[in-house]
Amino acid sequence: MITAAAAAAVAPDITVFLPLITGIILTVGGGIFAIYQLRLKYRKDQERPLPPTWPEMWAKISELDDKLKAQEETTEKRDKAIGNILTAIVDQWPADRPLPVFDPADLEIVTDIMPGKWARHRPRPATP
């Protein structure tokens, strides 16, 4: 029969392996945590839209430029139409009557679209 002393002499001391076992457990746990964090980061990256590429940005700039040109053309046509309407009103004004008196503040706004021959700054009569 094996005595307790003989068994103790043959059996390895487990306290020698405790730091090794603890290190293995911490390493495996740290690896699992790192993989978990990488998966979270990957998911967040998938949800976030990617920044536009140069061709996409250039296409957007071209699109905005085209819209601006169309808006400028529309504004220019509108300004010309207003000028034409005002010119027609003055051309049809009776010769025996004086031209209408315009507010100088209004004239300053539209001086670039109305003919200069009738844009006179005359005093405006007082309104009763």
For the chain, give every domain's residue range.
15-49, 73-116
Task: Give the number of other Cβ atoms within 10 Å of residue 114's Cβ.
Answer: 19
The answer to whether the predicted template modeling score (pTM) of the entire model surpasses 0.85 is no
- Give the pLDDT band (50/70/90) at residue 122: very low
- Give the pLDDT band (50/70/90) at residue 6: low
Q: Quick: pLDDT tens for 39-96.
A: 888 887 777 777 888 999 999 999 999 999 999 998 888 888 877 777 777 777 777 7
Mean pLDDT computed over every residue of the chain: 77
- Residue found by looking up tokens 């405006």 in the block: 124
